[in-house]
Amino acid sequence: MSVSLKFLKDKKVQNIILIVLLLATVFLGAYIRLQDLPNLKDSTTGDYTPLALDPYYFLRVSETMHAGPLPTIDPLRYPGLNPGWTTELNPKATLIVHQVTSIFSPDSTLRFANVINPVVFFVLGIIVFFFLIFLLSRSKWVALIATGVLSVIPPYLYRTLAGFSDHESLGMFGFFLALLAFSYAITLLEKKKSNPLKSTTIGILSGIFTMLAIAGWGGGARFLFMILPLAFIVIWLMKKDKNEKNSIIFYSSWVLGVLLSSYLFGYTPTGVLFNFMTSPSGFLSIFVLGYILVDFLFKKYKLQKNSKFKELINIGVVIVLGGILYQLFVGNVFSLITNVLGALINPFGTERVTLTVAENAQPYLNDWIGQIGSFAFYLFLIGCFIIGGKVAKGIKIKKLKYLFTISFAVFVLGILFSRISSTSLLNGENFLSKAFFFLSFLFFFITAVYTYYKSEWEIDHRWVFIAVWMVPMLLSVRSAVRTFFAIVPFVSFMVPLTIFEVGKFARRSKDEVTKMVSFLLLGVLIVALVLTFSGFYNSSIGQSQNQHPSYNNDWQNSMNWVRTNTPSGSLFLHWWDYGYWVQTGGERPTVTDGGHYNAFWDHLIARYVLTTPNPDTAKSFMKIHNVSYFLMDPTDIGKYSAYSSIGDDENTSDRASFLPTFLSDPKETQETSNGTTRIYRGGFPLDSDLVLTNTGKKFLLPKGGAGIFAFAVRSDNKSYSQPIGIYVYNGQQYNAPIRYLYSKDAGLLDFKTGINATIYLYASVQGQQFDLGGAGIYLSDKTMNSLAVELYLMNDVKNEYPELKLVDQSGSYPFNFYYQGFRGPIRIWEVDTSKMENIIGREEFMRPSGSYGEFDDLEFKV
């Protein structure tokens, strides 16, 4: 036994074991991410197809580059606006992967390279991640476990899966490289092993890696312009014996390295400067450069002799000079301040299109805990507290050490727990939540500044870097769902770090009881880690094996029809979600797409096409854009709430609504001699005020406060009777007739009186039973005359769109029905604008910007 233990203590043996385990970890992560590969096949071409929506754009760019030089203008996007091509690195990376795969398999296709692209860069990224954590923790085992957790943790899975050939996997590779190079440079400066040449070299290299992160994923790279400058300035302020000259050379070289290497990646220095370094999230990078230069010059020329508050003076000088320069060359400096503060509460702004994108939704803490699990979350939280303790450890005055530790903990809690859930007292929206959030910031900031001036303070640069990495990660928890992906690496680091710190505490404890309890806790944590790792693995392997392209069989068949039955160059109009699929799968141009090159057109399509009650506005839009085909997907019915809110007027909500389905339970069906009465139950908060008259009295059912929770429909073999809506307000039930009813067999029935709404009846599948009239949609006054309803649901029953001819219904089933949600085929109408002689094609619909609803009063018909 002793021989075995001595053998294991040999460093060479440990390193061999480490390398084997690291390779196994990397292999496991890649293995998990390739499990969906057999599912990524286009049934109409036999070739591989991406997993998600945006990767289709990058695939098309790769295919265009593979065929020859990119044209100046992308001919398939936003005709008339002449957009160029993406400058992101992903398409070129796919070509490189294809060149490599072709060496081993000459028959491998570009599309195969495209779908394995994210796995390749996941592997490269996670190897760099290991060395980054090793450098920061100085523990190869912490680095190994962190790498293992990151390989299997579910929130890091989807965007690194085979087929998700978007920018995240490549971007995180650059992100880790930049962090590694920058932290290594700080280590060299800390140990005074640097010289001007080394400082310049590592600075430029860090800049190139930062630029790689930008070119890989601009969204993820923005974190670097918070983390790196903040880490540098904190260390600059804390270290009294630093080599200022080498530090300035390094930081300046990093800034120049980013700007100059932009040419290598197809960007420009001015573009990077304005979009990243002077943006609300990145202005700190230029501010820090200004500060260290001012500080150095003031010291060199002795302009601040024995000034107690020289740092505040330096900050004041930089703010004044920087504010003037910003005002002259960039924009309004006060808007910058407002944007920075606003971004803390609404990280993705308040713009309509942005907020309706699901992945930009601002999450709650409970959402995040649900993704990573309670064990990982609370270890992460404890790890954050440990970081605060490590940073406070070097404070010489004991009272201030405790005060800073408490303020740091409050700071962490204020960020995380000020937005717990929508039903919580701390929901992120009310005054209490915002006060807790900002006051925790203020408490920490005042404490940190006070401690800095009142006490000597020595901090290991590693803990500074870790703490600074932590801050934007914490803020990201409350920013957007999509940023969970970028937070997970830090969480994966915190999990083993916390466990190892507990182990250190247990070993150093002198009290036997404390030591015993600590080791017992350590054992529990290790067992919990193993169980959590196993749970993560099972969850991730299951998710991977069951992932299929969102570009499903219906879309594959639909786009195959488009490729073979429509003339090349035919312009397609649809909601923006499907643009990349039509461009890449159908090989046809589209009016809009998921890149939102012009978000104003999203509003125009939402208001004047999809939700318009006036057919002339839709025809005018189609005519001026020379639209050839109009496409609707069944999910457009569920998305009505999203695009109708985008279609709202500037000041009033005249379009926002949704299309709720009500279901009939056969057990509640009433059979009588006069026919069959069915009750349809559901829920719909009224989208506008409703006035009911009953026994001569009028009752106001207010928007939002009242709703319809059921309706009754009686029918016999020949016809339907007028449906009765069952409304509720303040616990009181109101029954009222509804004027219109639509069913496939009866068409649109007008009962002449009643509430101005429509009941749309359609089939449902519940269990194994198919019910021809088992579901109904309540169409309010806002929605029942919209184009989406008239065309997709009612098949133009009023013949208001004779210029549109239904030419394809690609779907597993060619009819509408309810099964765990609304289902139906993809429908394509051919648009004959030559028959729209009396329609005015309004040039205003070609404008790239404008106010919401500003074209309502235009004339659309001659």
Tell me the helices (H) and strands (E) count for the chain, helix number first.
30, 17
pLDDT value at position 484?
A: 81
pTM beyond cutoff 0.85? yes
Summarize pLDDT for 457-476 with one digit per residue, the tens.
Answer: 888 889 999 999 999 888 88
The label of the residue with tokens 């960020």 reads 415
Residue 308 burial (C-beta neighbours within 10 Å; 0-12, 13-18, 19+):
exposed
Contacts (Cβ under 8 Å, ≥6 apart) of 115: 37, 40, 48, 49, 50, 51, 162, 163, 165
Q: Is the pLDDT of residue 1 over 50?
A: no
Other CB atoms within a 10 A radius of the CB of residue 48 amount to 22
Encode 651-714 in three state secondary structure. CCCCCCCCCCEEEECHHHCEEECCEEEEEEEEEEECCCCEEEEECCEEEEECCCCCEEEEEEEE
User: Rounded to whole angstroms, how far apart are CA atoms 278 and 229?
Assistant: 13
pLDDT value at position 359?
A: 58
pLDDT value at position 4?
A: 56
Burial 637-656 (b: 16+ CB within 10 A, else e): bebbebbbbbbbeeeeebbb
Contacts (Cβ under 8 Å, ≥6 apart) of 14: 8, 140
Grade residue 333 by pLDDT with cuts at 50, 70 and 90. Answer: low
pLDDT value at position 189?
A: 87
Other CB atoms within a 10 A radius of the CB of residue 8 amount to 10
pLDDT value at position 243?
A: 79
Phi-psi bin for 46: left (phi > 0), alpha (psi -120 to 50), beta? Answer: left
Grade residue 803 by pLDDT with cuts at 50, 70 and 90. Answer: very high
User: Rounded to whole angstroms, how far apart are CA atoms 290 and 719?
Assistant: 79
Among 323-327, 517-521, 540-544, the range scoring the smallest mean pLDDT is 323-327
CB 708 within 8 A of CB 727: yes
Look at residue 629 and give its three-state secondary structure: strand
The label of the residue with tokens 């000020």 reads 418
Grade residue 355 by pLDDT with cuts at 50, 70 and 90. Answer: very low
Q: Is the pLDDT of residue 339 over 80?
A: no
CB 381 within 8 A of CB 416: yes
Burial 488-500 (b: 16+ CB within 10 A, else e): bbbbbbbbbbbbb
Grade residue 537 by pLDDT with cuts at 50, 70 and 90. Answer: very high
Grade residue 791 by pLDDT with cuts at 50, 70 and 90. Answer: very high
Grade residue 3 by pLDDT with cuts at 50, 70 and 90. Answer: low
CB 307 within 8 A of CB 313: yes
Q: To the nearest whole number, what is the mean pLDDT of the chain?
A: 91
Q: Is the pLDDT of residue 570 over 60?
A: yes
Grade residue 22 by pLDDT with cuts at 50, 70 and 90. Answer: very high
Mean pLDDT of 534-548: 96
| CA diameter of the chain | 103
Closest CA to 572 of 564, 580, 848: 580
pLDDT value at position 767?
A: 80
Task: Tell me the domain boundaries of the chain.
Answer: 2-118, 168-329, 661-828
Phi-psi bin for 817: left (phi > 0), alpha (psi -120 to 50), beta? Answer: beta
Mean pLDDT of 746-758: 95
Mean pLDDT of 262-282: 90
Grade residue 298 by pLDDT with cuts at 50, 70 and 90. Answer: confident
Grade residue 666 by pLDDT with cuts at 50, 70 and 90. Answer: confident
Q: Is the pLDDT of residue 356 over 60?
A: no
- Per-position DSSP letters for 342-374, written without gaps between them: HHHH-TT-S-HHHHHSGGGSPP-HHHHHHHH-H
19-23 long-range contacts (CB < 8 A, ≥24 apart) are 21/144, 22/127, 22/130, 22/144, 22/147
Mean pLDDT of 363-381: 90
Summarize pLDDT for 519-532 with one digit per residue, the tens.
Answer: 999 999 999 999 99
In this structure, what are the phi and psi dihedrals at residue 386, rounded to the nearest 5 degrees?
-60, -40
pLDDT value at position 696?
A: 75
Q: Is the pLDDT of residue 750 over 80?
A: yes
Grade residue 348 by pLDDT with cuts at 50, 70 and 90. Answer: very low
